Amino acid sequence: MPVIDKICYVSRLRYMNTGEKFAFSFLTLIGCLVSRSVVMALFVLAVMSAINVGKSGIAPGRYMKLMLIPLGFLLAGTAAVMVNVSGEPLDAFAIPVGGLYLTGSKEGLFRGVQMVSTALAGVSCLYFLSLSTPMTDMLTLFESWRLPSVLTELMLLTYRFLFILLETAAWMTVSQRSRLGDRDKKTWLRCRGMLATSLFLLAIRRAGAIYDAMESRCYDGTIHMLRESRPPKAGEILKIAGFEALLLGMILADVTKWEWMLWMR
């Protein structure tokens, strides 16, 4: 079972109404994207992290590892926004390198911090949903919205086959390492080439075996899932509404403008 599914099924928020979790996650995400406020993004990041660790029961170390995955991509992507190579120094910092400068402007630094904080807040919102809601619960919610069954079944199969590909790659990597496939760089490159060559064929074979198993269980073109009724709770709805009202107030107060003015002083 994929790690994400394992976390979902042991989460203390597993049996919270799926519609409530979906609304809370996406309304908060939309608020962060609309505002682009650093203060609001850090506030959302702190709240979502507290919920994911404190309420959902995810181990702090595991959650930190999950958050570090997008952070690395974000820092690499925003470096081009914050750091420039120029013949003249800019107003934030300047490091002379030969006849040029590694330099940055206050505006560029602000935009970089804004992008990283907003993206991390958005990731924490999506982690709240994905680490507490199994895929079958999400598909049940989509079916209640009368989405076409073809779409929901494609989503389920794509989700499953994606992890089949990752699991197959992990097993092949372990097998290569057990045969000293990473003892030197030349051997490592040759083994990775072999893995890339055979991975797709092995994944297709496993996918075919899963389809055969579905056929043996009377698959008729429709994937039937067990549905559990979890009615929404008034107290949880009030808490979500209060939190979203607070975020709306921060958006209407135009916090980003005040942040920009303080940063440029």
> pLDDT value at position 50?
93
Q: In what order do the strands lie in the sheet with 84-86?
A: 84-86, 100-104, 93-97
In this structure, are residues 157 and 222 in contact, taking their beta carbons and an 8 Å threshold?
Answer: no
Spatial distance between the Cα atoms of 74 and 42, rounded to a whole number of angstroms: 15
Backbone torsions φ then ψ of 103, nearest 5 degrees: -135, 165
Q: How many residues does the structure list for the chain?
A: 265
Q: What is the pLDDT of residue 25?
A: 93
- CA-nearest of 138, 161, 247, 162 to 209 is 161
| pLDDT value of position 260 | 66
Question: Which residues of the chain carry a pLDDT beneath 50?
Answer: none
Distance CA 113, CA 92 (A): 14
Query: What is the predicted pLDDT for the residue at 2?
Result: 66
Dihedral, CA of residue 239, residue 244, residue 245 and residue 251, to nearest 10? 160
- pTM equals 0.79
Measure the CA–CA gap between 19 and 153, rounded to whole angstroms. 19
User: Could you write out the DSSP letters of every residue in the chain?
Assistant: --HHHHHHHH-TTTTS-HHHHHHHHHHHHHHHHHH--HHHHHHHHHHHHHIIIIIS---HHHHHHHHHHHHHHHHHHHHHHH-EEESS--SSEEEEETTEEEEE-HHHHHHHHHHHHHHHHHHHHHHHHHTTS-HHHHHHHHHHTT--HHHHHHHHHHHHHHHHHHHHHHHHHHHHHHTTTTSSHHHHHHHHHHHHHHHHHHHHHHHHHHHHHHHHTT--S------------HHHHHHHHHHHHHHHHHHHTTHHHHHHHHHH-
| Amino acid 264: pLDDT | 67
Phi and psi torsions of 228, nearest 5°: -115, 135
